[in-house]
């Protein structure tokens, strides 16, 4: 049975000896411990790097596609209260940037997870891999898109966020991948690998939205070469 460390100096772990007797061990170094058996399913740093490279391939595909769109199509909103392509991408980038900052801070105070099941992570993944629409709450204003942002600005910030995460992955030790370093408001504590899976599921989810925008904006461009833009202010509807 593992007790989460309450301060940086001591970590208390209840272990079972080979003779079957329970004992309490106090470790004087701040570190994330999973217990005597560990977690065989946790990703190692190399696995995280491979997952990150797959995410980078997807980002490159999106950037290559949308770089060829005219500004009017990138800003097009199919209806009042919906988001344009640029705004969808801006939301994704803001969510990733915030997560990277949280993970970096979390590595300084990792949370031991033990063998406790975390059903919230699986539930979040299922939700994000569906076409269900969600409303970003007002409390999450930091990830709301900016109506004035440009594709070039979003592309630059996404490159920067991914560079920051790439650098962070290069510093990971095996024990770092077993700890909770990011707390999602609905899924709870996540490891670095969980964070990467969250990035992938988040991109997948907004892929449905981008597909609808491809269709609706293509029809508009065909009918109206001037690319008239619906200038309604964006809300939190995804």
The 3-class secondary structure across 100-145, one letter per residue, is HHHHHHHCCCCECCCCCCCHHHHHHHHHHCCCCCCECCHHHHHHCC
Phi/psi for 180 (5° steps) reads -80, 120
Contact present, 230 and 76 (Cβ < 8 Å): yes
> Could you tell me the pTM of the whole model?
0.76
pLDDT of residue 220: 60
Paired tokens of 88: 């969808």
Q: Helix, strand, coil: what percent of the chain each, to 5?
A: 50, 10, 40
- Fold topology of 45-223: 1.20.120
Q: Where are the chain's structural domains? A: 1-30, 45-223
Q: For residue range 36-62, what is the model confidence (pLDDT) as tens digits?
A: 334 435 567 778 999 999 999 999 999
More confident site: 21 or 29: 21
Torsion 50-110-116-184 (CA) sign: negative
Q: For residue range 64-119, what is the model confidence (pLDDT) as tens digits?
A: 999 999 999 999 999 999 999 999 999 999 999 999 999 999 999 999 887 667 89
Confidence of residue 11 (pLDDT cuts 50, 70, 90): very low
pLDDT surpasses 80 at 192: yes
Q: What distance in Å separates the CA atoms of residue 225 and residue 34, rounded to the nearest whole number?
A: 60
Which residues, at least 6 apart from 195, have a Cβ–Cβ distance to it below 8 Å? Answer: 99, 103, 181, 182
Q: What distance in Å separates the CA atoms of residue 64 and residue 19, rounded to the nearest whole number?
A: 61
Q: Which of 155, 151, 150, 172 is nearest to 43 (CA)?
A: 172
pLDDT of residue 128: 96
């Amino acid at each position: 049975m593992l007790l989460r460390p309450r301060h940086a100096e001591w970590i208390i772990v209840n272990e079972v000896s080979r003779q079957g007797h329970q004992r309490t061990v106090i470790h004087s170094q701040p570190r994330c411990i999973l217990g005597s058996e560990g977690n065989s399913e946790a990703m190692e740093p190399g696995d995280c790097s491979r997952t990150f490279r797959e995410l980078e391939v997807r980002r490159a595909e999106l950037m290559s596609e949308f770089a060829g769109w005219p500004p009017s199509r990138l800003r097009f909103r199919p209806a009042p209260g919906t988001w344009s392509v640029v705004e969808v991408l801006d939301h994704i980038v803001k969510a990733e940037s915030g997560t990277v900052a949280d993970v970096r801070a979390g590595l300084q105070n990792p949370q031991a997870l033990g063998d406790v099941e975390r059903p919230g992570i699986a539930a979040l993944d299922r939700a994000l891999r569906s076409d269900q629409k969600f409303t970003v709450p007002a409390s999450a204003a930091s990830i709301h898109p900016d109506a004035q942002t440009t594709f070039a600005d979003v592309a630059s910030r996404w490159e920067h966020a991914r560079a920051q995460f790439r650098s962070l992955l290069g510093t990971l030790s095996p024990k770092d991948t077993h700890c909770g370093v990011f707390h999602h408001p609905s899924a709870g504590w996540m490891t670095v690998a969980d964070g990467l899976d969250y990035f992938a599921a988040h991109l997948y989810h907004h892929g449905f939205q981008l597909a609808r925008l491809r269709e609706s904006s293509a029809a508009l461009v065909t009918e109206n070469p001037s690319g008239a833009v619906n200038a309604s202010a964006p809300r939190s509807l995804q």
